[in-house]
Amino acid sequence: MPDVQGAQRFELRDAVAADASELAELTTAAWRTAYAEILPEGFLGAMDVSAREERLRERISDPGLACFTIVAISGGRCVGFVSGGPARATADGGEVCAIYVAPDHCGRGFGRSLLGAAAARLADAGYTQARLWVFTRNRAARRFYERCGWRAEAGRAYWRRDGLRRQLTCYSRSLAKGARLDEARLETAITR
């Protein structure tokens, strides 16, 4: 890797249970910022950080789950993460289940590196196709996925919680041999 002057070094690694608290805080901050126009303030304000932390800890610690969580570490803190595993809604393929970058670190290449690492991990697990779901109204994330080579599919689904219902759009990409994975190296540098 070229040693770019002024570049900010960061590391991608598998999450450990001790990351759960930071990841729960990060997810909550990302939802409150990115979904302010999509979900009601009351719902976002009432998000339960400790329940989310517990779910994350269980998922990270369960070796029986064919799921992974990869974190981006910069300046000694977790600034983003991606998780994935077998597709939940279809019988075949892999899925990127969640990707969040801390609001003060968005737009600096962390998301692209994390998404590339998730695609590489799913390809290594033998999947030839990956999917993910995004709020249809989350235009920023949809542009991000499109810039990273994912394509919107025709199908629609709905996210439902606490009496709320929001449309989701499915994105997919090929992981077949020969597909350009934009694979992230485990230690890399942000140059912008």
Ligand X SMILES: CC(C)(COP(=O)(O)OP(=O)(O)OC[C@H]1O[C@@H](n2cnc3c(N)ncnc32)[C@H](O)[C@@H]1OP(=O)(O)O)[C@@H](O)C(=O)NCCC(=O)NCCS
| Residues that bind ligand X in the complex, under the rule CB under 6 A | 30, 34, 99-101, 106-112, 134, 138, 140-141, 143-144, 147
The three-class DSSP label of residue 83 is strand
Q: Could you tell me the strand order of the sheet in which 129-135 lies?
A: 151-161, 164-174, 129-135, 94-101, 77-86, 68-74, 8-14, 187-190
d(CA 114, CA 120): 10
Measured from the CB atom, is 61 or 143 closer to ligand X? 143
Q: What is the closest distance, in whole angstroms, from the C-beta atom of residue 63 to ligand X in the complex? A: 26
Tokens in use for 18?
A: 């001790």
Sign of CA dihedral 50, 51, 52, 57: positive
Length of the chain: 192
Q: What is the closest distance, in whole angstroms, from the C-beta atom of residue 34 to ligand X in the complex? A: 4
Measured from the CB atom, is 15 or 30 closer to ligand X? 30
Measured from the CB atom, is 110 or 127 closer to ligand X? 110
> How many other C-beta atoms are found inside a 10 Å radius of the C-beta of residue 175?
21
Measured from the CB atom, is 13 or 112 closer to ligand X? 112
Q: What is the closest distance, in whole angstroms, from the C-beta atom of residue 134 to ligand X in the complex? A: 4
In the bound complex, which residue of the shown chain has the CB atom lying closest to ligand X? Answer: 111
Q: What is the closest distance, in whole angstroms, from the C-beta atom of residue 36 to ligand X in the complex? A: 11
DSSP letter at 17 equals G
| Residue 42, C-beta contacts closer than 8 angstroms, at least 6 positions apart | none
Measured from the CB atom, is 98 or 125 closer to ligand X? 98
Measured from the CB atom, is 79 or 175 closer to ligand X? 79
Pairing mode, strands 187-190 and 68-74: unpaired
Tokens in use for 94?
A: 């892999």
Q: What is the closest distance, in whole angstroms, from the C-beta atom of residue 82 to ligand X in the complex? A: 8
